Amino acid sequence: MTDSRYPYTYACDYIRRAGPVAQSGVVLSRSDASLIRCQIANALGMDDHELACKLADAERDIEAQAQETARLIDALYQ
């Protein structure tokens, strides 16, 4: 299965999750997060795609944990 959001959208969501949050939700846009990711990759001397993949994998791990937690909570209330 091909996911068109991998790696860049997931990587941006990972950065957005780590950034500031207001009552309305996350503050950083995906565009902001993309610029941050590119600057970090540049500072590390790393290819942007490689960094995006690493961040995307971390984001997908977080999503998987959240889904498992939700499944367990649902099971408690059934």
Q: Which residue has the tokens 């408690």?
A: 76
What are the domain boundaries of the chain? 8-76
Contacts of 30 (CB under 8 A, 6+ apart): 9, 12, 13, 16
Residues 59, 11: contact at Cβ < 8 Å?
yes
pLDDT value at position 78? 81
pLDDT tens-digit map of 6-62: 999 999 999 999 999 999 989 999 999 999 999 999 999 999 999 999 999 999 999
Instruction: Note the pTM of the prediction, 2 decimals.
Output: 0.82
For residue 27, CA distances in Å to 12, 17, 20, 22, 66 come to 12, 9, 6, 6, 21
- Determine the Cα–Cα distance for residues 37 and 51; give it in Å rounded to an integer: 8
pLDDT value at position 1? 54
pLDDT value at position 50? 98
pLDDT value at position 61? 94
**Helix, strand or coil, per DSSP, at residue 47:** coil
